[in-house]
Amino acid sequence: MANRPSGPARTRGWSRLQAWVVVAFFVVLPLPLALGFGWFGLNPVEAERNAPVGSLSHELLNSFPDNRLVVEIASAPGATPPSASMSLLWARMNETVQKASIQFVLETVSVPSASFTSDGLFSVEQSVRQFWPSVGQMAIFFLCVHGSYADQSGVLGLAFRGSSIAVFTDTIESTAGGGDPAPITSTVLIHEFGHELGLVGLVGSAPNEDPGHPGHSTDPNDVMYYAVESSAGLAGLLGGTAPPTQFGAADLADLQTVRNTPIPLELLPPVVVAGCWVAAGVAVLVFRRAARQA
């Protein structure tokens, strides 16, 4: 009986090099995924452009995934908000959002006076807006125009997309009746910003929501009171006093909850990273066991 041909000795299991290649693969896998998908699609930019009002509240409020906020204020000539109003908006933003930086960008844009629909505002926005939500950066856009809102008379301001707000300067000035428009402008800017944060009840629990005026507060001292956003409502509310510019305690508690509640996509990166590292650990164990048995 012929002897079987002898060849090089075969080792059982993986070679050391093969094992470390497998381990290294799982360890570094999260990196190309993060680069390729922009942190696994946490910032689906196109979706955020068309996002419903209030749906980006967590991204606005929390430092993750977007740790910067750009506030773009684009105004038709003569429609720029008073500096006092922008300062107060800045203060309210710093009270509510957690970002490493909040940058205001002021622009003058050519927008003819018109009766604007929501879609018409969005069309103007797409032609003039410079800063959109992007990886690591949240952005919010204020379009300050002459003219009015087509779908309802007397509207002072309107949140028309998840990061898009319109301000109707002429209606604010006529509501001020020749007086200083700054207090009303402040109220309108902060009220519409509040809607983008998900107030009242657009997200969160909102025990202070007025069932007769969904999305608004029952408290007339709250900037989210329903009467704040229309000329007639504000005139009735004012009675010679300054309109509210502060979020109520119930609003702030609601924002705290929304800020601290992760959105599902936020959980994806740590799950993927943990899964890869567990796989790398299992590969190490398998390699060691195979090496002992060789």
Return the number of the residue (54 or 65) whose C-beta is nearest Zn ion.
Answer: 54
Return the number of the residue (66 or 254) whose C-beta is nearest Zn ion.
Answer: 254
Kindly indicate which of the ranges 82-90, 131-139, 223-231, 263-271 contains the residues binding Zn ion, using the contact rule CB under 5 A. Answer: 223-231
8 Å CB contact between 229 and 156: yes
Return the number of the residue (145 or 276) whose C-beta is nearest Zn ion.
Answer: 145
Closest chain position to Zn ion (CB): 229
Q: Is residue 72 involved in binding Zn ion (CB under 5 A)?
A: no
Beta strands 157-161 and 164-168 are antiparallel
Kindly indicate which of the ranges 14-22, 127-135, 228-236, 257-265 contains the residues binding Zn ion, using the contact rule CB under 5 A. Answer: 228-236
Return the number of the residue (72 or 229) whose C-beta is nearest Zn ion.
Answer: 229
3-class state of residue 131 by DSSP: coil
Question: Residue 230's CB: how many other CB atoms inside 10 A?
Answer: 20
8 Å CB contact between 142 and 189: yes
Q: Is residue 229 involved in binding Zn ion (CB under 5 A)?
A: yes
Kindly indicate which of the ranges 89-97, 221-229, 247-255, 260-268 contains the residues binding Zn ion, using the contact rule CB under 5 A. Answer: 221-229
CA dihedral 258, 260, 265, 270 (to 10 degrees): 180
Q: Is residue 222 involved in binding Zn ion (CB under 5 A)?
A: no
8 Å CB contact between 173 and 113: no
Largest Cα separation within the chain, whole Å, is 115
Neighbouring-strand partners of residue 94: none
In the complex, least distance from residue 157 CB atom to Zn ion, rounded to whole angstroms: 8
Residues that bind Zn ion (CB under 5 A): 229
